Amino acid sequence: MKSSSGLYFSRLDHVRGLAAYLVFVWHFTHLTAQFPVPFSAAPPFPFALLEEGHVGVGLFMTLSGYLFAKLVNGQAINYPAFLWSRAVRLAPLLVASLAVWYILGKLHVGPPIYFSQIWRGILLPTLPNGAWSITVEFHFYLLFPILLLLSNRLGPHALLTGIGFSLCLRALLWAKYGEVQLVAYWTIVGAIDQFLLGMFFATAGFGVKVRRFLAFTGGLLFLVFWQIFDADGGFFNLDGTYPSPSALWIIIPSIQAVAFGSFIDWYDKSAITVP
């Protein structure tokens, strides 16, 4: 299967590999709350990146924004063809996986999968076993033409306006409900920061020195922040409960997006030679 544009960027596959590795390690090491690695474990710096490897989902989403903006390169798109290419890539494996999970549930080999989970998965992150993230991707696909038009007409910095709106929305939700972790992690309300900053870094045109500075400074600060985040309880125990009432979840998607977007931009355009 080939890209609909005919273009292929091997470096971005390396980033995909890193994102997949982070997610795999997190699910493998935390098969249960205590086994093989208890959630209370506190790894040395910088291995909180693996201990809290669910962050790989955010890396995937930042990469999606970056890749689509890079492929389009400021041009208009054939939107029906764009949606069709996405469906051809995602739907066959998704349908096959859902069918297998449904059958295994009926055989009591795994947890039961209900049809309500599947049809609600169009709007809500209810698809099982990690497939929930495809719902968030789908919502980004619906927004992509609008975001592209905004970037083409007003410049890539206009995308940062969307970050401001999403931060304000999460702050309002936190003030009203006392927590914002659920929407910040599981829905487009948080993931939009990652898609937007992925697009921004793909189109901003930073010079070599700026890209290097942003990637290494942002990467180091993120690793320090993620180490502190993990030590304070991490995904499931920040402030002692899940979902966490911590206001940090207002800005966590933005922090991830800056670190990941700057890293992808630097690596994609670096002189490092890797097969």
Task: Give tens-digit pLDDT for 83-121.
Answer: 999 999 899 999 999 999 999 999 988 889 999 999 999
Residue 120: predicted pLDDT: 94
Q: How confident is the model at residue 4 (pLDDT cuts 50, 70, 90)?
A: low
Which positions ≥6 away from 271 have C-beta within 8 Å?
Answer: none
| Residue 148 tokens, joined | 């592209």
- Residues 235-258, mean pLDDT to the nearest whole number: 96
For the chain, what are the domain ranges? 10-76+147-268
What is the C-alpha separation between 14 and 273, in angstroms, rounded? 12
- Residues 123-144, mean pLDDT to the nearest whole number: 94
| Between residues 42 and 203, the one the model is more confident about | 203
Instruction: State yes or no: pLDDT of 173 exceeds 60.
Output: yes
CA distances in angstroms from 81 to 8, 57, 69, listed in the order given: 18, 26, 16
Instruction: State yes or no: pLDDT of 76 exceeds 90.
Output: no
Instruction: State yes or no: pLDDT of 69 exceeds 80.
Output: yes
Q: How confident is the model at residue 6 (pLDDT cuts 50, 70, 90)?
A: low
Of the chain, the percentage scoring pLDDT greater than 90 comes to 81
Q: How confident is the model at residue 1 (pLDDT cuts 50, 70, 90)?
A: very low
Task: Report H helices in the chain.
Answer: 10-29, 48-51, 56-72, 79-106, 115-120, 132-154, 159-177, 181-186, 188-203, 208-231, 234-237, 248-268
Residue 275: predicted pLDDT: 74
Instruction: State yes or no: pLDDT of 68 exceeds 60.
Output: yes
Please tell me the pTM assigned to this model. Answer: 0.93
Instruction: State yes or no: pLDDT of 32 exceeds 90.
Output: no
With b meaning 16 or more CB within 10 Å and e meaning fewer, what string describes 236-246? eebeeeebbbb
| Between residues 39 and 142, the one the model is more confident about | 142
Instruction: State yes or no: pLDDT of 225 exceeds 50.
Output: yes
Q: Residues 156, 204: contact at Cβ < 8 Å? A: yes
Q: How confident is the model at residue 42 (pLDDT cuts 50, 70, 90)?
A: confident
Q: Could you please report the per-residue DSSP string of 113-174?
A: --HHHHHHTTTSS--TTTTHHHHHHHHHHHHHHHHHHHHHHH-GGGHHHHHHHHHHHHHHHH
Task: Provide the mean pLDDT of the chain.
Answer: 93
Of the chain, the percentage scoring pLDDT greater than 70 comes to 98
Residue 236: predicted pLDDT: 92
